[in-house]
Each structure stands twice: as structure tokens, then as C-alpha cells.
Amino acid sequence: PQTFSFPEDIDYIKLPSVVKTGQERYEPRAIRIPFDRIRRIRSEILFSAARHFQPDLLVVDHAPAGLKGEVVATLDYLKVTVGHTRLVLGLRDVLDDAATVRQAWARDDVYKLLDHVYDMILVYGHQHVYDIVREYGLSPVAAQKTRYVGYLRREREVRSREQVRAELGLKTDRLVVVTAGGGGDGYDLFHAVVDALRSRPKPAQFDCLLVLGPLMPTADRERLKAMMSAEASVRSLDCAEQMADYIAAADAVVSMGGYNTVCEILSFKRPAIIVPRVAPRREQ
């Protein structure tokens, strides 16, 4: 997040990062202390910020209770003590297979939050594509609060297609962009692409840009760059703040199936090969 630019008068508070290691299992990304302590730190930061700032609006993204319930105390405080804060939950339509979501939400008392705490539920999708009220078993009370806002269209952000291609210094007139979102579990996809290019009897008749992602482990990044060193048509970026510009400039895209990347591909109508993640979640 530190690489992103912000409008004037906007600031942010960063929570200690965690990484998902399995079904409902997490561990700290950088701070080597037990997960329970990291969770408490995150929860206390959230509560302190809400107590002192007393916002007019709180938008909770993706996880209704936060990571392992970390935002529940903050929601309760804002609802009961502050009173004026509007509490909004934002959800992708597909979070995981429906049975898994229902089981997790029942276990974590999420349905009570949807019924009694949140004022509105925004779904970043279309009801006729995936109806979360039906799939996740929302009550009539929660259904009344639910609004489907459509898939989030992207616009080209800063540079034109021609500017991006000129900056990359392409050797051909065709560009394939490969991305795995944050990159934390993207090594296999990138490896498969580079290995396929290396095994060709003749050089590829296109340029290939790999956007590795800021969350890729350093060892994986170094292995991929070593593999790419002999391929003149392949280059990489560790991350791209204006990813939409690269998608728009591509002739084709190879990617994992994350919500943001798929929305970018659809927004610019790029031909794509999408390789969905199958573990630890099946949301792709």
C-alpha cells in the first residue's frame, strides 16, 4: 500500500500484514510473533482509530467480522456508543463456494452482524449472475439492506496504450501481460509461462511482460528473474501502481482469476487465459 499515491488530505493507518496459509489459517507476513498477538494488535488499532476519529462512515471490505473477528468490537462501539456512524459492508459476489461461506458465517455469528449491525450491504456484482441472498442464506432483514452495484469497471488511469508500449521498449508489435494479482501464490503461473517460452524452438513473436506483484516472496522473485535472464522478449515489473494501463496496452493477458484483474480484463475487452486459484479458497 505504501507505493500508492493518495489525494490531498487523505491518510491511512496500516495494520500488520498476515498471509493465509490454509483453510482458516493465517500467520504474520513479517512480524515474527504468534498470530493471536497480531490479531489483538490489529483489533486494538482499529478500535483506537474509531474511538478517536469517530467517523461518519465505516466501510468493511470482504470479511464482515474482519480477520477472525478483529473488527466486531469496533462495529459494536460505533453502533451503540457513537451512534451516527453509517456502517457499510462491501462484498465481492463470490467469496468461496456457498456451503463454505454459510458454515463460516454461522460459526462466526456473521448473520447477526448482517441483521443487527450493518446499515447497508453493497455487492460488487449483479444479482442475476450470482445472488448472494440466495447462495449465502441471508435473512429477509439482511436482504432488504443489500444493493447490487455491478462489477467495478476500470478506466485507463494515466497513460495511453502507445505511451505504455513506448516506455516498455517493445521489440515486436504484440504484447502479452502476465499477472497474478498481489503475487503471493503466483509463482507457478509465472514459471509455466517462462518455461513455455524457453522451450520454444524459435523466439516468440511477441513481447511478454510479467507483473510479479508486491507480495511475491523474494526467493520466488529471484528464481523467476534468473529464468528470464536468457529471454530477450521477457521482462518483469515487481509491481505496477497503474495496472489498468498495462492491461489496456496488452494484446492478450494471462492471469489468475482474482476479482480485480478479471474486471480490468473485461473493462478493456482483452483476450485472456485465466487460471483460477483452487486452494485455500475456491472464490476464483
The answer to the question of residue 11 being in a domain is no
pLDDT in tens, 116-160: 999 999 999 999 999 999 999 999 999 999 999 999 888 776 788
**Domain match, 72 and 178 both:** no
Phi, psi of 86 (to 5 degrees): -85, 125
pLDDT given for residue 152 in this prediction: 87
What CATH number is attached to the domain comprising 227? 3.40.50.2000
Residues, the chain: 284
Q: What is the mean pLDDT of the chain?
A: 90
**Domain match, 113 and 144 both:** yes
Would you list the DSSP string of 55-121? -SEEEEES-TT-GGGTTHHHHHHIIIII---EEEEEEES-SS-HHHHHHHHHHTTHHHHHHHT-SEE
pLDDT in tens, 49-76: 999 999 999 999 999 999 999 999 999 9
As to burial, measured by CB atoms within 10 angstroms (0-12 exposed, 13-18 middle, 19+ buried), residue 181 is buried
- CB of 85 within 8 A of CB of 123? no
Beta bridge partners of 87: 58
Give the model's confidence band at 280: pLDDT under 50 very low, under 70 low, under 90 confident, else very high: low
pLDDT reading at 1 higher than 50: no
Peptide bond into 280 cis (omega under 30): yes
How many folded domains does the chain comprise?
Answer: 2
Q: Name the more confident of 198 and 155.
A: 198
Question: Domain residues for 80?
Answer: 18-148
- CB of 126 within 8 A of CB of 150? yes
**Domain match, 143 and 170 both:** no
**Domain match, 105 and 173 both:** no
- CB of 245 within 8 A of CB of 209? no
The one-character DSSP state at 271 is -
Highest mean pLDDT among 61-70, 198-207, 221-230, 232-241: 61-70
Enumerate helices (H) and strands (E) in the chain, giving the number of each: 11, 11
pLDDT in tens, 159-186: 888 999 999 999 899 999 999 988 888 8
pLDDT given for residue 185 in this prediction: 85
Statement: the pTM of the whole predicted model exceeds 0.95: no
Give the model's confidence band at 230: pLDDT under 50 very low, under 70 low, under 90 confident, else very high: confident
The answer to the question of residue 242 being in a domain is yes
Give the model's confidence band at 3: pLDDT under 50 very low, under 70 low, under 90 confident, else very high: low
pLDDT given for residue 281 in this prediction: 67
pLDDT given for residue 71 in this prediction: 96
What mean pLDDT do residues 246-274 have? Answer: 93
Count the alpha carbons within 13 Å of 1 in the hemisphere toward its beta carbon.
8
pLDDT given for residue 232 in this prediction: 75
**Domain match, 123 and 239 both:** no
Domain boundary among 96, 114, 148: 148
Total Cβ atoms within 10 A of residue 141: 11
pLDDT given for residue 4 in this prediction: 67
Would you list the DSSP string of 3-32? TS---TT----PPPPEEEEETTEEEESSS-
**Domain match, 143 and 176 both:** no
Q: Name the more confident of 200 and 263.
A: 263
Phi, psi of 146 (to 5 degrees): -90, 130
pLDDT reading at 249 higher than 70: yes
pLDDT given for residue 80 in this prediction: 93
- CB of 213 within 8 A of CB of 246? no
pLDDT given for residue 38 in this prediction: 93
pLDDT reading at 278 higher than 80: no
What mean pLDDT do residues 85-94 have? Answer: 96
